[in-house]
Structure 1
Amino acid sequence: MPGNVIAQQKKKEKPNVIFVLTDQWRKQALGFKGEDPVQTPHLDEFASWAVSFDNATSCRPVSGPGRACLFTGKYSINNGVFANKVPLATDEESMGRVFKAAGYATAYIGKWHLNGMNDHVTDSVRRQGFDYFVQSMGHQPFFQGYYVQDDKERTYIKGWAPTYETQLGIEFIEKQKTSEQPFCLVLSYNPPHTGGGPGFEDRYQPGKYGPDKKLKMGYGYAGPAEYEALYKDIDYEKNPIRGNLKPIRRSSDTSARVIPGYFGAITAIDNDFGNLMTYLEQNDLLENTIIVFTSDHGESMGSQGLMTKGTWFEESMGVPCLVGWKGVIKPKREIVVFNSIDLMPTLLGLSGLSIPQGVDGVDYSPLLLGKKFKAPEYAFTSFDFGGVEELKAPRYWRAVYTSRYTYVLCGMNQNRAFTKDGLVLYDREKDPLQLNPIYKGMGYDKTIDRLHAELVKHLDETGDPFIKEYWNNPDAGYPKLNKVTMDPYSALRKSGANAKGGKSKGNRNKQLKK
């Protein structure tokens, strides 16, 4: 009974922290936002007493680098994780390590991707301070393999992986709820990311072809059947989910047939999130627990004729970001810019913990707590490589993001087709679907000049040679990579910004001093 639970619980000096992280969940896919026609009743309820950062962006819209930015609070050029195969350094003062050092019980359950790829056991020294550690393997959400703690034998679970992971999280909390020791739990769900294995036999990713030039089957979007059924009676060709959908580039495919799988996975996760929230409410844990819901990056799902991630468009770069602490944080739809590197220092600030030196992100806890706060005007994002096949798909670009504009510089790659002379501006206030690119001479020259100066300044401060090596030189060949670190710039700078002992530069907190 709840009354007995209250009697059993001991008052904690610090709040608990639950960080729910998804993969490839775009910012538009939340019911309360009224954009994508998707059902998320439990997240909608959470949003009714949380802050939603509606202009939250991924610092690096691809899984491994995006997660490294989230957990270190640093830009990729400062944390050293440039591509999916690169492990995060063992001496980083990342989120888990800071909470553990502060006396928290720490747990991480689900997709990791901070130790290169997810196909091997993560040694304890590489778990970044998380003591209880259950790591999922690959992208098979209906028959997921796990490495549990130090066991090198995989444990396979039949059924929807997020449900199993949520139950493990609840079991961890159950053991901690009567302790004076606060806890920090990360629940990292792999869906709605594309997947394979059982349940995906008839699935595909539009525009993705095999050597035989036929659609590559067996890998795509899927959720549990009962949740996909919510979306299967809609003709998405006649009723497009967004006004900027186009046939997938270099093919005649559209995203219409795969939308039920994507939305079905989202609604299924919403149900798992609801079960977690019900447990917290029934055990009177909401008032002493900070809860975060976000994603490492978004999903294009046919917008601009693109799929998955890796571009500067809102569907790819924008992420959901909800922060709640019942009775402490007042609900609001917040429009200030919020970068994924800001989440780590913000959680530390809310928890009353010191932020490590060298963190680039900004602590937004004063804003969340109703105190005087001037948010940064700019957020900076970047991209160099594709997903797993990093060497085959370089897509160099740098962008500066404000609450109104997205300004992009693009190097030698396929995405340069979206620009003129390697640059493009979008006025998202007048053109939220980003259908009308703006170039020099179209009435926005002062805005372009201002944002260009801010972006160049940021690149100079972080030691990023992108302008000289790639933007001013669109015919440059692929960089000579350091094949250990996948750092495309190691040969271009005398001492890397991310080198051991190097200072972190380009700190966003400088914007607050203006």
Structure 2
Amino acid sequence: MSDRPNIILIITDQQRFDTINALGAPWMKTPVLDRLAREGAAFTNCYVTSPVCVGSRASLFTGMYPHATGVFTNFHPWEPTWVKWLADTGYHCVNIGKMHINPYDAKGGFHQRFFMENKDRPLFLDEHPRALYDEWDKALHARKLEKPSRYTRYTADPEGYRNAHGAFPWHLDEDMHSDMFIGDHAVWWLKERKSEAPLFLQIGFPGPHPPYDPLPRYLDMYKDVDIPIPETTAEELAAQPPAHRTLRNNMIRNNYDSVSWKDKPTPEELLRIRRHYAANVTMIDDKVGEILKTLDQRGYLDNAIVIFTSDHGDALGDHGHIQKWTMYEGSVKVPLILWSKNHIAPRRNDSLVQWMDIAPTVLEAAGVEPPKSFEAKSLWPILKGEANAIRKEVWSELARDHIQTGAEYIVMRRDERWKFVYYLGEEHGELYDLEVDPGELRNLWTSSEHAHLKNMLVHEVLVWQLRAAIASRQQPTPKPQQAMLI
């Protein structure tokens, strides 16, 4: 057996930061993640570099911000970079589930991929340029089951579809639910594996991304649970940039991912959505427990690092929005837990980190030196107790796509106190004093009292962009280190 650690990277899709009981969400039922958070290192202020799947994931697997990778939307082609570096140094690299590479079936540096994409992805192979059959599609076909989607649901019950707002209890065989399918597939594969090479295993759960479709027995667990729901006022909506109104209207008109949104959802409707969402997270929590049990039985956890996280969050009604495409906390802030029997001590860290900081952290654990051009920063100084923080601010970027059509380019800068959101070429923007307004309810953009601060932060955005342009000119292939850094 190798002395290098097995690395297990578990990524959910669209999971908010406030979805783990042990990290401040008492309404959640997440015993497995609670244990990882208590026994491992939990980062409570982890921010993605983009509030969309592909832009965020491309940053993670290249160590660069979106404006350096050129990947802003879910349609931009990309492939991971540093997975191949692990493979070149002897790691057995395997992906099971969602990676959101473009094209979907690209190898991306992995030796093996058992890929699955969005739950609601269309299958019109002669009409949609990215449509293809993934592992889940094949399994459903083998069972002679029709894949649920916005098309089948609307056709079966148009009124029920519109009133569900994306929340549909799963009605087919339990093991054919996408998250159950991926969890079971990972357990099966681990039991079958015979290689002695160190393992890099990336498991991608499709949930709790909508449609919000938990198994009924998990939904029953939240039947009487009181989950906090937002209250959005007309004053708050009026203070938002026009791009927000455009985004809400697009979500109402086009019901992306089986979510038929509305302008003013009732408290009962919001609670129903959030209960379905929470139940989906609990379902994933169970599957993570089964995966960890199998890893332990097979001896992998004796020398392993397990990372649990998500690619971005979901508004779930916050600020009048659903899904992502904004820079609010519910959209850009995600859970991040690193756990190990012998490499990571229990700690909770509230400093600001970027999601892509996972990249150099994994590489250093594997004995691979990250390139100097990386904008991502290793978490090891915090994990080893050598530093309390590695960043003073975090950034996130978003460009115009087929859903966020109201702004050409949006960039967020957030430090410990201030969140600043700049809209290229527009007089509108967002500025929040998170010290007194953690809920981001009072937009100070037009406040004369904060005009100097706003101008200073615009300058910060310009400097950040220029520094990144210089840093990304060269990105050499790293060489393996001679010594472990953990």
- TM-score between the two structures when normalised by the length of structure 2: 0.76
Correspondence for 2:109 = 129
Deviation at 1:439, TM superposition (A): 3.4
Q: Which amino acid aligns with 1:31?
A: N
Q: Deviations over 1:279-301 (max 9, x none)?
A: 23334432311111111110000
Counterpart Cα distance in 2 of 1:36 and 1:393: 36
Q: Which amino acid aligns with 1:398?
A: V
Correspondence for 1:378 = 393
Q: Which amino acid aligns with 2:214?
A: G
Q: What is the aligned counterpart of 1:409 among 419, 422, 444? A: 422
Matched, 1:75 2:88: no
Counterpart Cα distance in 1 of 2:382 and 2:138: 43
Unmatched tracts of structure 2, length 5 or more: 124-131, 144-172, 238-247, 250-262, 476-486
Counterpart Cα distance in 2 of 1:365 and 1:162: 31
- Please say if residues 244 and 433 of structure 1, whose CA atoms lie closer than 8 Å, have aligned partners that are also in contact: no
Counterpart Cα distance in 2 of 1:391 and 1:164: 31
Q: Which amino acid aligns with 2:460?
A: E
What is the DSSP-based 3-state SS (H/G/I as helix, E as strand, rest coil) of the residue aligned with 1:320? Answer: strand
Correspondence for 2:219 = 228
Correspondence for 1:315 = 330
- Please say if residues 55 and 403 of structure 1, whose CA atoms lie closer than 8 Å, have aligned partners that are also in contact: no
Q: What is the aligned counterpart of 1:424 among 419, 430, 446? A: 430
Structure 2 CA distance for partners of 1:391 and 1:191, relative to 1, 3 Å: closer
- Please say if residues 187 and 290 of structure 2, whose CA atoms lie closer than 8 Å, have aligned partners that are also in contact: no
- Please say if residues 93 and 200 of structure 2, whose CA atoms lie closer than 8 Å, have aligned partners that are also in contact: yes
Correspondence for 2:177 = 160
Structure 2 CA distance for partners of 1:41 and 1:402, relative to 1, 3 Å: same
Identical-pair percentage: 25
Structure 2 CA distance for partners of 1:391 and 1:324, relative to 1, 3 Å: closer
Q: Deviations over 1:52-108 (max 9, x none)?
A: 11110110110111111111111112222121111105xx6x231121111100110
Counterpart Cα distance in 1 of 2:417 and 2:15: 22
Correspondence for 2:264 = 252
Q: Which amino acid aligns with 1:291?
A: V
Counterpart Cα distance in 1 of 2:449 and 2:25: 29
- Please say if residues 46 and 335 of structure 2, whose CA atoms lie closer than 8 Å, have aligned partners that are also in contact: yes
Counterpart Cα distance in 1 of 2:305 and 2:82: 14
Correspondence for 2:474 = 503
Deviation at 1:327, TM superposition (A): 2.6
Structure 2 CA distance for partners of 1:100 and 1:32, relative to 1, 3 Å: same
Counterpart Cα distance in 1 of 2:405 and 2:413: 26
Correspondence for 2:84 = 97
Correspondence for 2:378 = 363
- Please say if residues 8 and 200 of structure 2, whose CA atoms lie closer than 8 Å, have aligned partners that are also in contact: yes
Correspondence for 1:182 = 198
What is the DSSP-based 3-state SS (H/G/I as helix, E as strand, rest coil) of the residue aligned with 1:190? Answer: strand
Correspondence for 2:483 = none
Correspondence for 1:511 = none
Q: Which amino acid aligns with 1:231?
A: Y
Correspondence for 2:4 = 14
- Please say if residues 243 and 433 of structure 1, whose CA atoms lie closer than 8 Å, have aligned partners that are also in contact: no
What is the DSSP-based 3-state SS (H/G/I as helix, E as strand, rest coil) of the residue aligned with 2:350? Answer: strand
Q: Which amino acid aligns with 1:503?
A: Q
- Please say if residues 58 and 340 of structure 1, whose CA atoms lie closer than 8 Å, have aligned partners that are also in contact: yes
Q: Which amino acid aligns with 1:127?
A: K
What is the DSSP-based 3-state SS (H/G/I as helix, E as strand, rest coil) of the residue aligned with 2:134? Answer: strand
Counterpart Cα distance in 2 of 1:385 and 1:286: 43
Q: What is the aligned counterpart of 2:339 among 316, 324, 330? A: 324
Counterpart Cα distance in 2 of 1:429 and 1:441: 17
Q: Which amino acid aligns with 1:402?
A: D
| 1:388-407 correspondence runs (5 A) | 389=402, 392=405, 394=407, 396-407=409-420
Counterpart Cα distance in 2 of 1:42 and 1:69: 28
Counterpart Cα distance in 2 of 1:140 and 1:275: 26
Q: Deviations over 1:231-275 (max 9, x none)?
A: 2335xxxx6614555699562224233222211111100110111
Q: Which amino acid aligns with 2:293?
A: T
Stretches (4+) displaced over 6 A: none
Structure 2 CA distance for partners of 1:130 and 1:365, relative to 1, 3 Å: same
- Please say if residues 86 and 114 of structure 1, whose CA atoms lie closer than 8 Å, have aligned partners that are also in contact: no
Deviation at 1:360, TM superposition (A): 1.5
Deviation at 1:366, TM superposition (A): 2.3
Counterpart Cα distance in 1 of 2:100 and 2:418: 31
Q: What is the aligned counterpart of 1:171 among 180, 184, 188? A: 188
Correspondence for 2:30 = 40
What is the DSSP-based 3-state SS (H/G/I as helix, E as strand, rest coil) of the residue aligned with 2:318? Answer: coil
* RMSD between superposed Cα atoms in Å: 3.0
Correspondence for 1:481 = none
Counterpart Cα distance in 2 of 1:326 and 1:246: 47
Deviation at 1:462, TM superposition (A): 3.5
Q: Deviations over 1:449-506 (max 9, x none)?
A: 5533322211233359xxxxxxxxxxxxxxxxxxxxxxxxxxxxxxxx98xxx436xx
- Please say if residues 17 and 333 of structure 2, whose CA atoms lie closer than 8 Å, have aligned partners that are also in contact: yes
Structure 2 CA distance for partners of 1:426 and 1:356, relative to 1, 3 Å: same
With 430-439 and 449-458 compared, the bigger mean Cα shift is at 449-458
Structure 2 CA distance for partners of 1:39 and 1:242, relative to 1, 3 Å: same
Q: What is the aligned counterpart of 1:272 among 281, 287, 302? A: 287
Higher relative contact order (CA 8 A, sep 6+): 2
Deviation at 1:168, TM superposition (A): 2.4
Report how many aligned residue pairs link the two structures. 406
Structure 2 CA distance for partners of 1:446 and 1:49, relative to 1, 3 Å: farther
Counterpart Cα distance in 1 of 2:332 and 2:26: 16
Query: Which structure has greater helix proportion?
Result: 2
- Please say if residues 410 and 422 of structure 1, whose CA atoms lie closer than 8 Å, have aligned partners that are also in contact: yes
- TM-score between the two structures when normalised by the length of structure 1: 0.72
Correspondence for 1:205 = none
Deviation at 1:381, TM superposition (A): 0.9
Q: Deviations over 1:16-54 (max 9, x none)?
A: 000101111000111112237221111001101111111
Correspondence for 1:138 = 118
Q: What is the aligned counterpart of 1:347 among 362, 376, 383? A: 362
- Please say if residues 264 and 320 of structure 2, whose CA atoms lie closer than 8 Å, have aligned partners that are also in contact: no
Correspondence for 2:254 = none
Deviation at 1:440, TM superposition (A): 5.9
What is the DSSP-based 3-state SS (H/G/I as helix, E as strand, rest coil) of the residue aligned with 1:366? Answer: helix
Q: What is the aligned counterpart of 1:435 among 441, 459, 469? A: 441
Matched, 1:461 2:467: yes
Unmatched tracts of structure 1, length 5 or more: 1-9, 196-220, 465-496, 505-514
Counterpart Cα distance in 2 of 1:360 and 1:372: 18
Deviation at 1:318, TM superposition (A): 0.6
